[in-house]
Amino acid sequence: MPSLVQLADTSLPMPPERARALATRGFELRTVKGAGHALHRDDFDGFTASLEGWI
């Protein structure tokens, strides 16, 4: 099943090695540059832009 993981630019809960592990399992990863943990509140435009082509 296709799955998208949206990441903050710097994310403590999702360090790069964990993100790479998800990517190797088939998850699509997209980063919202400059956003923190609350992507949709920190950068709503970047959040919605990262959904382009997905939904």
Q: What global pTM score does this model have?
A: 0.76
Predicted pLDDT of residue 39: 87
Is residue 16 within 8 A of residue 39, CB to CB? The reply is: no
Distances (CA, A) of 38 to 9, 26, 28, 44, 47: 11, 24, 19, 9, 10
Predicted pLDDT of residue 21: 94
Q: What is the DSSP letter of 1?
A: -
- Residues in CB range of 10: below 8 A, 6 or more apart: 36
Predicted pLDDT of residue 22: 92
pLDDT tens per residue, range 1-55: 789 999 888 777 788 888 899 999 999 999 998 888 888 898 999 999 999 998 7
